[in-house]
Every structure is written in structure tokens, then in C-alpha cells.
Structure 1
Amino acid sequence: MTSQARYAFVPLAGRLGALLVALFLLLPLAALAQPADPASARAKVDSIRGELTQIETVLNNPAASEAELQRQRLRLQPLLEQIRILADEQAPRFEQAKTRLDQLGPKPDAKAPPETADVAREREAREKGFSEADELLKLARATVLQAEQLQTSISDLRRERFAKMLFAPGPSPLSPETWTATVTTLPSDLRASHLVFGDWLSVFSDALLSPRGVIVLLGFIGAIGLYVARARYLPRLSGRLAASETDSGVHCLYSALVRLIARAAPPALASWLIYAAFNTAGLLPPRIQPVILAIVYGLALFAFVQALADALFAPGEPQRRLVSVMESTARTVVWMAGWLAIVMGVGKVLEAWLQAIAAGLTLSIIVRSVVASFFALTLVVGLYRLRDNDEIEQEACLGPYVPVDGASLGPVRILSWVVGLAIILAVLLGYVVLATFLTEQVLWLGILAGLFVLLMQLIELGIGNLLTGDGRFALSLRAGIGLRAATLQKIAVVLTGVLKIVLIVVMIMLVLAPWGLESTDLLTSLRAAFFGFQIGGVTVSLSSIFFGALMFALGLAATRSLQGWLNEKFLPTTKLDTGLRNSITTAAGYLGYTAAVALAVSTLGFSLERLTLVASALSVGIGFGLQSVVSNFVSGLILLWERPIRVGDQVLVGDAEGIVKRINVRSTEIETFDRSTVILPNSNLVSGVVRNRVRSDRTGRVLISISVPRTLDPTEVRSVLAEAGADHGDVLKKPPPNVLFKKIGTATLDFDLICVVGDVDQVGRVTSDLNYVIHKRLAELEKPAAAAELTVKGLEGIEQSLGSIATAVAGERKAPPRSAAGKVKASRSRAANDAVMEDAEEAVPAKNGSAPDAGKDEAGGKDDNKE
């Protein structure tokens, strides 16, 4: 195909796809446009009612078998679906007939003038159509109710018979009469076995020499080849997985799945090949076929159980173990699972053999009792081997917790002990059917538990690794579709949760299925849960909930798109202010959300009348419990309609002042000047006191208050302030800047400069600019101050003393030697001089600045001077 042809094919494919979509959407409309024929609808209802009567007759027969009840249940299910569809189709026809009749109004009374002939004929025709539609709708709804009651009766009857059969007592295997009757009928049973299986073996040996033997031989060769391939390649696969094994849970899960398939598939396929070869060659007569089929199922069951236990517990390979148990526990569980499967498979083969030879009742009871006893003994032995080791438990208590033998399987072990003892007790008391059923349920629940653990880990690890890992699929989603890693992670979490819920529901239904709770129609139950059931005239289903949620999501997406288009495309082209734009966008959002809710509710099947009833019932609760929420919602509508506060306004509410950023349904967001957000309920803004600085206009007021020394000339200060305001470009000229001389203080003069700017957002910047300019000009007006000098008074006496001391010292150096009296006088004079010098040394620090000491030294100096 050339490039031109390819490009021509793309629009053609697009047009074909659009045409198919249009046809798909128009088909339901066309079906609705063609009203159903009332006569044919009545005939269908009558036919369904006749079949329901036949089913009811069969149910009233006490001799009806389980198979007959099952056939009637399968026959009833499509009839119930058909009558529901008919009832749904007749409801709009009834409403239409009622509307047409109401258009004519009430019939005039006897005193009023009679209607014209045309009106009377029209009224009669419409009344007839209304009565037919009403009768047909009531009949259809009554038939739906009858079918639902029959369905419930069949289920109750099947469960009742199942319970009677399960808990019906029979001959005990310990009774001598049972063994006597078995010994009596044993020779005839052996002859029947010889006849049935001897004839089949002779036919089989003769067939081996014929062309049919080639088919059987090919089947055996294929089965042997599968077993040989399993024995040869499974160790290699295990070694390869072990060599590349890491500690990641994803790799362990991958290894478990591979081993499960590799160990279970070849034996099951080999058994099926042998069965298919026998069946194709015509070597399976009706009596032998159940026995061979039981052998095939037994081999497949053993292989699957063994592979599942090995995949979960991995004996000998703790690094790939999915269940946290010790090595001895893992080996015991795998051993027990294998032997339980063997006992169950042998029991099914023996039951098929007894059915083929039409063995006596006592022999069947003994065989089932022996199989159930062996099963219970195997279970008890396995549980006994799982007992806790005292030494390991005591050692684990000394340090960090270590799971001891069987510790993590404690609840399962207790339940298994109870079931094992119950099986033995049921066998001894003669409840062989109950014992056989319990053995089947033990193995069935074990298989379900293993699959649940495996699938749960597959969902938990597989989905997350698939969508959020580094694989090709995740990279393709990121690169090709453009999904972000965070979005993929959210999708993985939601998808994982949904799949887990689905898995839990399915597992619960599978657990309850063998107990008679719709055990054979699991798909029917799932379909009924998905497509809905009736509650008070409203169909509740997973599909309706899903489509309702889908409609709501589409409505929200459309509303968000409309708001984005209004906010980013259309409203910016208008001259509307920011607050009015926000009001329009928010009102559009309210309308869109309301429409989305109405669309989702209509998809669920609720009418406006039911919604009105629900709203009236909830009005009391809304009035008391949701009073504040409703008050805030109504207050938000008032804010959007009256617009006393708009987005972008600068408001002051209590201690919070800032810019209004968003008006929501319940609250309003205000961003303060320190970049924090204050969330106020809408009712506070409507009923409280709010200062809106830009309610009328957005002009702002700049106020600068200063204090200057009294030495400055007030006229010069006034001129400086006025010139600073007038010279700024953002200050409005009308009104011009104004300077107020506010106060004459003791040492300062107080002035206010008042300016008006065009936008309140400019107040802070203009104030800062004016402060810089005013500070600079006032600094130029002030005279420079002289240098400060420090003068200390009161030290004249100390200076005179120091001068006399210096003169005396100079005179002593020039004087001649003296007499003894002179020496004594000189020593006294020297002592006096030393005292004066001490006083002088104490006065020196006072001269350096200590005021109290200076006063003391000054007094001391005066006293010395007097001396």
C-alpha cells in the first residue's frame, strides 16, 4: 500500500468508525421509536404465564429429582429475563396513555354541558388505551413476581434436599449387619466386575491389533513423551530460574507461576491424550467411560495439587517461598497435599467402579468409609507432623521472633484438626455422605486457598510492576499516551483494589457453591449481580452503578472544560472585572455539577418523584445535622450574586487582612500579606463585619507620619514633603498630595503626608519610595552637630597639690645634708608627701570619668590642701 493510499484509508476508516458508532447509538432510539404491539405483548405475557404454571406443577411434585429441579431452574431463568424486559417496556406506554388521558381533563359532571361527540369518542378511545396499558403492566409485574417466587422456591427446595441428603444417617461401618450384607453380596459384585472389565479388556486386546490400536498407541506415546519432557526439562528450568533468582517478590512470583504450569500441565495433558485416544478408538463403553474419566481426573488433580503446593511452599528453596513458614513445615504441607490428592483420586475411581458394576449399598458405604478414614488419618498425621517444636520455640523467645514450625498456620491447623476429627466421628456414627462431603471440601478449600494466595500476590505485585515499573508496557504508557508516573501509580492502586475485591467475591461464591447455594450457576449469579436486581421498583446493579459513575465523571469533565474555556478563552476578551468573571465561572460550575448529578441519578433509574421523597425525608436531618454546611452554601451563593466581596478585593475581617483569592461553595480563601492563607466560612462574611478597601474603587491611600526636631523650619519640612509626593510618578495629581502639621511636641514636630495612588496594590511600593526620598531631603536640611567635648570640674585642689609636690621634690635634690632633727622633720615631711601622693593617685581615676569617686577625691584634695 502506498503512502497516498494509506493516508486516504485513514479518513475512510474514521468515517466508517463514526458511522458504526452512530448506528450503535441510533439502534436503541429506533427501537424506542417503534412502539410494541399491545396484542403481541399480551400474547408473550400469556405464554410466559403458561410456562410458569408448568414449572410450578413440577415443583409441587414430591418425587421430582435433583436433575429435574436443575432443568426447571435453567428453564425459568430466560423466562424471568423476558418478562422483566416486557414489564420495563410497558411502563413508558402506561405513562404515555395516562398523559394523553390527562390532557382531556376530568369528565364533566351531570350539571355541566355535555361534551361534543368527537371529544366523547376521543375520551373513550383514550380511556380504553389507558385501561389496556394499565392491565398489561399489572399483569406483567405480577408475572415477574411469580417468576421470582418460583426461582426462590427452586433454590430453597434444592438446598433443603441437599441438607437432607447430607445429614441423612445410614448404616454404620462398625455394624455387624453391614459387614454381613457386604460379605453376602461380594461374590455377585466380583462376578459383575469380572464381566464388565473382563469383556472390556478382551475388546481392548483385540483392538490393539486393529487400526484402532494405532490411535491408542499414539495416545500412549504422546503421554509418555510429555512425562519424559517434564522429567528432562523441568530440572533445567528450575536451575535456570534459581541461577537468575533475586530477592524481589516479582521474580519469586514469576518463578512460582512458571513451576506451577510446568509441573501441572504435562500430566494433565497426558491423561487427556489417553482418554481422547480411547474415546476416538471407540473403546469406552458407557459403563467403563466414568471409570477412565475418574482416572484422568485423579491424575490431573494430583499433578495440580502437588504443583500448587510446591509453587507456594517451595521445599528446599526458601528464597522463592511465597508463604512464610519454616523448611520442615513446607515439606510437611507438600507431603500432606500430595497424599490427600492421591486418596481423593483413588476414592473417585472406586466410586466410579462401584457405579459401573451396580454394587450393593453396603459395599459402597464401606468403600466410602474406608476412603474417608484414610483421608482423615492422612490429615491427622500431617497435622501431627506440623506440631510446634519446644526447643525451637524456646530459642525463638530468647531473641527476635522466629516463626516456629506451623506457627503461621495456627488457625488453619486448628480448623483442620476439627474437620479431621469430625470426619472420623461421622464415619463411626454412620454419616458416610457427610464424611465424604467433608473430605471433598477440605481438598477444595485447600486448592482455593492456594489459588487465592497466588492470585492475590499476582494482583499486588504484577499490576504495580506492570504499570509503575521500568518494563516496556509502562514505558509505552508514559511515552506513547503521555501518562505521568504519579498518574500510573494511582491507576495501579485503584485497579489493584478493584481486582482484589472481585477476587474476594469470586472466592466467597466458590467456597459457598458446593453447599447448595447456586452451585451450578455461578455465571448466572454473577450476571444477575452485574445486570441488577429489583429493590422497591428500582433496578440496582453493578452495571448501572458503573454507568452512573461514568456519566457523573463525564459531566464533571465537561463542566471543568466549560469553566476552563470561560476563564481562559472567553471572559478575558470581555471588559468584566475579575470578581464578576469568577462569579460567572463558579455559577457555571454549579449548574454543571447539578446536571452531572441529575444525569448520574437518572442513569441509576431514580425519578424526580423519588428524589423529592428522599429530599423531604432528609430535610429534618439536613436542618439539624447539616445546618452549618447549608448556611455556608447559601452564603456562598449570596456572595456570588450580590458580590459585596469579589475575587481580588483587599478586605479586613477581624485580625485577618489580605486579598480574596477564591470564593468556594463552603468557604472563602484570603491570602494575607505574609503569603499565608486564611479560610473563612461564607456565613461569617455575610453576617459579620467586613472592611472592603476596594469596594467602590481601587484607589489606595498612602499615609506617611514623621517627627522632626524643633530646630527645623516647618515651612521647609512642608515643602520637602509636598515636593516628594508630587514628584513621584504613581501619585495622582487629583487629588494632590496633602501635608498636615499635626503636633508641636517638646522636642519634635509631627507631620503627615497623605497621597492617593491609582491602585491599592501600589500603596506599599509608593510608601517605600517616598520614605527614601523624604529621609534624604530631611538629612540635607538638618545642620551638622559640633563635636562633643568632656569637661571635668572640681579638680583645682589636686592640681595645686601636685604642683607643690613637684616643687618640694625639686628643692630636696638641691638642699645640703641636714642634722638629726632635720632628718626627723624630713621624714615627717616625706610621710606627709606619701599621703598626698596616695590621695592624688585615687583622684586620677575620678578625673577619667567616675563621678561619685571624683567628688570624694575632690573633698580629700581640699582637706590635704588645707593641711
Structure 2
Amino acid sequence: MSMISGLERAFRRCGGATLFALMLLVVPLVALAQTADTTTSPRARLDSIRGELTQIEGSLANPNVSDNELQRQRLRLQPLLDQLRLLTDEQAPRTEQAKLRLEQLGAKPDANAPPETPDVARERETRTKTFAEADETLKIGRATLLQAEQLQSSIGDLRRDRFAKALFAAGPSILNPEVWSTTLTAFPSDLRASQLIFGDWLSVFTTALFSPRGVLVALSFLGAIALYLARARYMPRLTARLAAKVDSTDRHILYGALIRIVARTAPPALASWLIYAGLNTAGLLPPRIQPVILAAVFGLALFAFVQALVDALFAPGEPQRRLASVMESTAKTVAWLAGSLAIVMAIGKVLEAWLQAIAAGLTLSIIVRGVVATVFAVILIAGLYRLRDNQEIEQEACLGPYVPVDGASLGPVRILGWIVGIAIILSLLLGYVVLATFLTEQVIWLGILAAVFVLLMQLIDLGIVSQLTGDGRFALTLRAGIGLRAATLQKIAVVLAGVLKIVLIVVTIMLALAPWGLESTDLTTSLRAAFFGFQVGGVTVSLSSIVVAILLFALGLAATRSLQRWLDGKFLPTTSLDTGLRNSITTAAGYVGYAAAAAIGFSSLGLSLERLTLVASALSVGIGFGLQSVVSNFVSGLILLWERPIRVGDQVLVGDAEGIVKRINVRSTEIETFDRSSVIVPNSNLVSGVVRNRVRSDRTGRVLISISVPRRLNPTDVRAMLLDAAEAHGDVLKKPGPNVLFKKLGTTTMDFDLICVVGDVDIVGRVTSDLNYAIYRRLSELETPVATELTVKGLEGVEHSLGEIAAAVSKEVGRRAKPAGGRVTVKRSGPEPEAEAEPAETPPAPAKPEPAANGGKDETKD
């Protein structure tokens, strides 16, 4: 029986601890800051805190301390920790000031030195005593703070240990016959206790209905019925109104989902609370009945909230307002699964409250919780099994490009749910009923957290960003009223959304781990240590000090640059100093300002000049062993970034590499040449070497075109032609205008140079090409061709002889080619001409040949 009574205590302690942890993290605990009396000395306050810590240590030394007592001591310890942190923060500068005042008197003279005057001796004694007291108080305060932090960790460890022991306490299995036999034996007595308690309550309740108290109860029931009727009547109208809106963007769908959550959850929860408040106010809830009614109210509110969440995310039957990208079958399955699990959980909580009200035996509690957990696990496994993709969908997904279907995205969730369901059943079979009940609660809790997390993430992405960057009233007010630009609002929206997402993720993780024994104070303690710092070698390293140092350094840089702009733009131009001296003064002021900003930043970190000297000495050892080039490039990079002799986008010539500066890094500079190659140049070469920057002062480019023309042309016409071609181009600047130089007068040619300026050096090549085309066309028009006739005298005889020879040759060819019939037949081996030539004049017929001696036969000899 001792084991059974121990398990019963474990049931109650685990359930109460889990519920309390959930409520503690859902509703953040407000810090109980105790205001200390300013008139009390720090040492007296410290002694009072140490006394309370001693009492807390005595309470923790009790081995039978309860979980509620541990929680009470933890709440008592938290304000003491805050007071100790405040006290040490106040005492540290006092101790430092006392030390500085003592050091101002110098070292105490030794025995051989002349003695101090009485006034100096008394002052030294007073300051030494003050410093000793302040230093002692600071050391005791830090030691007490460490003791309090250790106590806080011990309380957390004890609570987690108690929770783990209660959670994994082994007991009889639900299949143990002894459990069932004991339950059947005690069931008549439990039934009589139920009839006695609830029967008496029902009789009292019935009697009270006809008394003045019944009016209050009747009003509460009527109010609950009215809420349910209003929900049933107006909820369809609200849904239809939201669906009828023309604007169907994701943001308005999300807003509609949030409105539905409130509209579907508030009436049932408020109606249940009205009934509970009416019964409680009328005095009709005795101590044993009150937990049962409260569990019923909680169950109804839980069921309504879960249904509202599922409807907002999955929207069964209304895919147009669905926030989760799943199919209709999956949406319906998820809605059925979530509602069924919520109903089982609500029934289980009511049954547990009923068992506690009738003081039922442990065996009946084991059976009831086991049955509820078994039904929960079976519904979970069956519902997840229904989430599988059917065969037709899988075949369609394999036909075309890969498109993930529900099974691909819900596969990990389904496997995890099956593991949890099997773990619940195994825990019941092995006797770990508390663990099985705890797992069922976690399934509902994590499901609610996941749904709320998805909704809030979408609200951050769609709601906040759109309100700041859209054309809504709020964004227009910020632009018009405050003067923020759209780009600035975009940056603010991105940063704000990122911060809110980080906070949401951290809070969600804390809430998910809270039922397992991890409390918010454990995480906040670690975050506080990281933010407010910890001691490393006498220096406090903290995120807050680093942020403050960066802000101070940034303010110093801004002030320095403002001073430089004022010197360069307003003050120095009023003096008679030359330009070089002005630049030197402005640069020197910048160096002094940068050094001052760095000193302020380091001092806020607690790094004095002595510590910086030690760091520089340590670095000098590494520099001496081969880091000279690295440090040289590093310093040169700082010079390039500060003085900006070379800027990103400048066209520079370094050695034989010419191109555009793309990036200036700490060690090297990247230059992209015109053939799109990257040249990496060390920064020291740019600082100590010769660099030609074509756009140092401005980005205007110079176009130079040289031409040579014949000497017979008029130079004035050539100059006018070149100027007209340059002025006609739209990219050539009017001021300074184009110019033409007469460079050289040669024997047969003249050389001219056309010089003009364009707005950007990047377009010099294109403008040069365009001008070359235009000059060539105009020069062709300017150079008219000259006809030239060549006459040779003294060759008349040769010409007459050549003419006679040509005539004789033509006659001989014509005689041989003409046949007897008077036709000239020419056989050509090539293709036929397209058109026949006109017949030539018929040559005179040749004389008939004399008859041959062979009897009239012609004899042709080839």
C-alpha cells in the first residue's frame, strides 16, 4: 500500500506541477522588486540579505521539502538576487573612487624618508579606512551574489529531479489482473461516494433554483445560452462577409482567420465561465465539486480554441481562405483529429477531477487514465494514418515535374506522431501511467504552440511589414508626419520583423520546454549573464558594454566627420591658407577625432591605456615573427578607407593593370579590368606605389581623336567639320566645349586633334567610336574627287601601226569563221546566254574559189 500511496502522491504532484508550469509561462511572472531603504548603509542591507539566504538554505536542506515549498523559495530568492546585483553595481564605482583618492596621496614614505605631516597622516588613515570598508563590502557582495545564484540553480535542479522521479515512477501495468480485481472490489464504494457527493449537490442545486440564489444561476445560464445562440447566428454572417470581400490578399486572409479565432473561441469560453461564476457566486460549488466544474469549463474552452485554430489554418471546405498549403482531404483529417483529441483530453480532465472529488483508489485512477491515454493514442495513430497520400495522387505526382504533395511535407510529423502514440501505449503496458498521461498533454500543448507560432509568424511577415511599407494610412502618416522615406521604413520593417521573429522563436522554445522542468528563470539567468557581463581577467565582458562602446565610437565618428565638414566647407575657406594646408588641417582633425572616439569606446569597455599597451606588446611579438606584410596591408587598408584616395567605382591604373575598383578589403583591393579579369592588389602597393586615378576629382572623361587630311583641303573647313561633329553628339559637354588643335603641317598632309569632354569616363569609348563614324562621313563629303587625264606625245606612228595590225587580224579571223551559207556558227561549251545578241553587220562575201584540179572536189586542209 505504501507504493500505491506514493504513486497517488506522484499523480497529484506531477499534474499540479505541470499545470502550474504551463500557467507560469503563459502568463509571465512580474518581477517582485523590493525597494530598499536609501537611508540604510550598503553593509546593513547586505547583512539583511545574507540572513534571508541562510533561511533559504535551511529550507532546502530538508530532504522532504515539497515542490510548492521549492517554488515559494524560488520566488523569495528572485528579488534578493536583483537587490544584490544593484548593490554590487552601486558599490563598484564607490570602491574605485576610494582607491583613486587614496592613490592621490602617493605611496606611504618608508622608515628612511622624512615623516608625513599630521594632517596628511590623518587624511591617509581616513581614506585607507574608507577604501577598506568599500572594498570589503564589494567583495562580500560579490560572494553573496554568487551564493544566491548557486541557490537558484540548486532550487531548479531539485525541482527538475522531483519532476523526473514523479514522471518516471513505475507502477502496476494496466493489464495487471490485480489492478482490475482491486478496482472491481472497490467500485461499489466509489459509486456510492459519487452518488452521495453528486446526489447531495444536485439536490441542493435543485432547491436553490427556487430561491433568490436561483435567479443568479438562471441569469448565468441564460447568458451562456445567449452567447451560444449569438455564435450560431452571427458566425455564418461573419464568415460570409469576410468571404465576400474583393481584396483576397494573404494579409486580409490572415486578418480574417484571426477574427474567426476570436469569434469562435470567445462565446463558448465566456459562456462556460458565466455558468461557473454564477454557481460559485451563489455558493453552489462545494470544495469537492468545484474542481469538476472547473475542469469542465476548461475542457469546453480548450475544445473551442483548438477547433478555432484548426479552422483558421486549414479551413476545411473553404480552400480560398486556407493558410496552410494542404489538400482538402488533409484539411478535413486534421480538423477531425484535432477535435477528437481535444474532446478526449477534456473528458480525461473531468474524470480526473471526479476521481479526486470522491477520493477514489489508485487502481481506479490508473484504469481511468490508462483508458483515456489508450483512446488518445489510438485516435492519434489512426488520424495520422489517414493523412497518407492515396495512390492516384502519388501517380499524378510522378507524371510531371516533381511537386511535393501532402505526404512529403507531413511525413516527419506523421512519423513523430506514431512514435509518440506507440510510446504512450508502451508506457501504459509497462506501468508508467504518469508518463503516458504527460505525453498526451504534451501532444495537445505542442500542437497548440505550433499553430499559434505559424499564425504569429505570418502576422509578423504580412501584418507588420505591410503596415510599414505599404500605402496604408499608418505608413502614409509616418512618411508625411515624421518625414521618413520609403527606403527607411523598409529597413525599419525588416529589422523589426527580424527582432520579433527571434523573440517569438525564443518564447516558443521556452513554452515547449517548460512542462519538462526548464523554467524561464533558468534561461533569463543565462541571458542576463551574457548581456550584463562576466569577469575575465579583471575586465567585464558583456553584450551591453560592447553595444554601448560601439554606439559611443559611432557617435565619435559622426562628430569627427561633422567637424571635418565644418572646417572644410565653412571655416577654412574664410582664411587665407592655401589648399594643401587646409587639407592637412582637416585630415589632422579627423585623426584626432578618430583616436578620441576609439579611446572613449575602449574606456567604456573597461580597457585602460595600460591594458592596451599590454595587448600591443603581445601583438608586437607576432609582428616581429613575420606579420609585417599583413599589418602593413591592414594599416594601408585603413588609410584607403579613411582618406579615400581610391574609391569603389574609380578607374585606376596600377602598373600595367587598368580597370574599375570593385571592392576595398582590409588586406587587398580588387580591380576588374576591361577584359573582365580580377586583379588583386595589396593595399600597401596602393599606398606606397604610384597609382593613376582617372576619376579622382570627378568622373568626366576626355575624348581625343587625331586625324590626317590632304594638304589641298582648307584647314578652316576641317576645323568647322570637326567642331560640328562633336557638338552634334548628345553626350559631349557644352562646358567645356570641344576644341580643335592644328598639330602639324606636313608636305602632303595636315594633322588635327579633336578634344572634347564627356560626363562619365565610362562612355569615352562609345563616344569616340560615334565621333569616328561621323568624322569619316563628313570627311568623305569634304574630299571631292578630281578627274585626271594622262597625255603621252610622240607615239603617233606606233599608234597607227597598231591600228593596221588590229584591222588585218580581224579580217583574217572573220574569213576563217564564216561558212559557205553566209552564217557564222559559234560553238560554245559554256551555258547558253540569256538573250541573243543583235546580228552584226554581214561582212563582204569572199571570192569564189577556183575549181580544183581533182574534178570539182573541195579539199580542206586543217
Q: TM-score, normalised by structure 1?
A: 0.72
Structure 2 unaligned residues grouped into runs of 5+: 1-36, 697-703, 713-734, 736-741, 754-760, 769-783, 819-862
CA change 1:347–1:93 in 2 (3 A) is same
Hey, what's the Cα distance between the residues in 2 that align with 1:95 and 1:145? Answer: 21
Residue equivalent to 2:504: 503
Deviation of residue 164 (structure 1)? 0.8
Hey, what's the Cα distance between the residues in 1 that align with 2:235 and 2:170? Answer: 48
Residue equivalent to 2:342: 341
Residue equivalent to 1:250: 251
CA change 1:559–1:511 in 2 (3 A) is farther
Hey, what's the Cα distance between the residues in 2 that align with 1:115 and 1:350? Answer: 87
Residue equivalent to 2:722: none
CA change 1:503–1:469 in 2 (3 A) is same
Contact 1:529–1:542 (CA<8 Å) still a contact in 2?
no
Contact 1:706–1:752 (CA<8 Å) still a contact in 2?
yes
Q: Are 1:94 and 2:95 an aligned pair?
A: yes
Hey, what's the Cα distance between the residues in 1 that align with 2:342 and 2:246? Answer: 30
CA change 1:619–1:444 in 2 (3 A) is farther
Contact 1:583–1:641 (CA<8 Å) still a contact in 2?
no
CA change 1:90–1:428 in 2 (3 A) is same
Contact 2:172–2:179 (CA<8 Å) still a contact in 1?
yes
CA change 1:294–1:627 in 2 (3 A) is farther
Contact 2:633–2:683 (CA<8 Å) still a contact in 1?
yes
Residue equivalent to 1:423: 424
Q: Are 1:312 and 2:339 an aligned pair?
A: no
Deviation of residue 103 (structure 1)? 2.1
Partner secondary structure for residue 171 of structure 2 = coil
Deviations 1:454-491 (A, max 9, x none): 11111111122111222111222222222222222222
Q: Are 1:490 and 2:508 an aligned pair?
A: no
Partner secondary structure for residue 106 of structure 1 = coil
Hey, what's the Cα distance between the residues in 2 that align with 1:179 and 1:654? Answer: 95
Residue equivalent to 1:27: none
Q: TM-score, normalised by structure 2?
A: 0.72
Partner secondary structure for residue 266 of structure 1 = helix
Residue equivalent to 1:821: none
Deviations 1:593-620 (A, max 9, x none): 5555555566666666666666666777
Deviations 1:186-240 (A, max 9, x none): 2332232223222222222222122221111111111111111111111111112
Hey, what's the Cα distance between the residues in 1 that align with 2:597 and 2:142? Answer: 31
Contact 1:84–1:144 (CA<8 Å) still a contact in 2?
yes
Hey, what's the Cα distance between the residues in 1 that align with 2:646 and 2:623? Answer: 28
CA change 1:640–1:225 in 2 (3 A) is closer
RMSD: 4.9
**Amino acid of the residue matched to residue 209 of structure 2?**
L
Residue equivalent to 2:122: 121
Partner secondary structure for residue 168 of structure 1 = coil
Contact 1:192–1:357 (CA<8 Å) still a contact in 2?
yes
Higher alpha-carbon deviation: 129-138 or 117-126: 117-126
Residue equivalent to 1:289: 290
**Amino acid of the residue matched to residue 217 of structure 1?**
A
Deviation of residue 311 (structure 1)? 0.7
Hey, what's the Cα distance between the residues in 2 that align with 1:531 and 1:637? Answer: 30
Deviations 1:480-514 (A, max 9, x none): 22222222222222221111111111111111111
Higher alpha-carbon deviation: 55-64 or 555-564: 555-564
Contact 2:389–2:406 (CA<8 Å) still a contact in 1?
yes
**Amino acid of the residue matched to residue 274 of structure 1?**
I
Residue equivalent to 1:199: 200
Residue equivalent to 1:54: 55
Hey, what's the Cα distance between the residues in 2 that align with 1:624 and 1:327? Answer: 70
**Amino acid of the residue matched to residue 178 of structure 1?**
V
Deviations 1:97-140 (A, max 9, x none): 22222222222222333333333222222222222122111111
CA change 1:211–1:669 in 2 (3 A) is same
CA change 1:785–1:348 in 2 (3 A) is closer
Hey, what's the Cα distance between the residues in 1 that align with 2:378 and 2:705? Answer: 100
CA change 1:655–1:370 in 2 (3 A) is same
Residue equivalent to 2:172: 171
**Amino acid of the residue matched to residue 250 of structure 2?**
G
Q: Are 1:143 and 2:119 an aligned pair?
A: no
Partner secondary structure for residue 284 of structure 1 = coil
Q: Are 1:446 and 2:437 an aligned pair?
A: no
Q: How does 1:38-437 map to 2 (within 5 A)?
A: 40-244=41-245, 247-437=248-438
Higher alpha-carbon deviation: 420-429 or 382-391: 382-391
Hey, what's the Cα distance between the residues in 1 that align with 2:454 and 2:693? Answer: 64
Hey, what's the Cα distance between the residues in 1 that align with 2:688 and 2:546? Answer: 41
Deviation of residue 286 (structure 1)? 2.0
**Amino acid of the residue matched to residue 317 of structure 1?**
E
Hey, what's the Cα distance between the residues in 2 that align with 1:433 and 1:53? Answer: 36
Partner secondary structure for residue 518 of structure 2 = coil
Deviations 1:648-671 (A, max 9, x none): x999753579999x9999899999
Residue equivalent to 1:789: 789
Partner secondary structure for residue 41 of structure 2 = helix
CA change 1:74–1:597 in 2 (3 A) is farther
CA change 1:405–1:281 in 2 (3 A) is same
Deviation of residue 257 (structure 1)? 1.2
Deviation of residue 528 (structure 1)? 4.3
CA change 1:652–1:253 in 2 (3 A) is closer
CA change 1:658–1:75 in 2 (3 A) is closer
Contact 2:334–2:383 (CA<8 Å) still a contact in 1?
yes
Hey, what's the Cα distance between the residues in 2 that align with 1:208 and 1:672? Answer: 95
Hey, what's the Cα distance between the residues in 2 that align with 1:626 and 1:225? Answer: 82
Deviation of residue 387 (structure 1)? 2.3
| Count of aligned pairs | 718
Deviation of residue 367 (structure 1)? 1.2
Hey, what's the Cα distance between the residues in 2 that align with 1:283 and 1:291? Answer: 13
Hey, what's the Cα distance between the residues in 1 that align with 2:510 and 2:580? Answer: 57
Partner secondary structure for residue 64 of structure 2 = coil
**Amino acid of the residue matched to residue 230 of structure 2?**
A
Contact 1:101–1:126 (CA<8 Å) still a contact in 2?
yes
Hey, what's the Cα distance between the residues in 2 that align with 1:257 and 1:798? Answer: 113
Deviation of residue 397 (structure 1)? 0.6
Deviations 1:28-81 (A, max 9, x none): xxxxxxx987x7211111111111111011111110000000000000010011
Deviation of residue 314 (structure 1)? 0.7
CA change 1:456–1:212 in 2 (3 A) is same
Contact 1:207–1:213 (CA<8 Å) still a contact in 2?
yes
Contact 2:710–2:750 (CA<8 Å) still a contact in 1?
no
**Amino acid of the residue matched to residue 61 of structure 1?**
N
Residue equivalent to 2:844: none
Hey, what's the Cα distance between the residues in 2 that align with 1:612 and 1:658? Answer: 42
Hey, what's the Cα distance between the residues in 1 that align with 2:395 and 2:448? Answer: 33
CA change 1:622–1:471 in 2 (3 A) is farther
User: Which protein, 1 or 2, shows the higher relative CO under an 8 Å CA cutoff with sep ≥ 6?
Assistant: 2
Contact 1:667–1:682 (CA<8 Å) still a contact in 2?
yes
Deviation of residue 145 (structure 1)? 0.6
Hey, what's the Cα distance between the residues in 1 that align with 2:366 and 2:552? Answer: 60
Higher alpha-carbon deviation: 574-583 or 615-624: 615-624
CA change 1:288–1:584 in 2 (3 A) is farther
Deviation of residue 400 (structure 1)? 3.8
CA change 1:419–1:668 in 2 (3 A) is closer
Partner secondary structure for residue 182 of structure 1 = helix
Structure 1 unaligned residues grouped into runs of 5+: 1-34, 696-702, 712-729, 731-738, 754-760, 769-783, 810-826, 835-867
Deviations 1:630-660 (A, max 9, x none): 42464478899999999xx999753579999
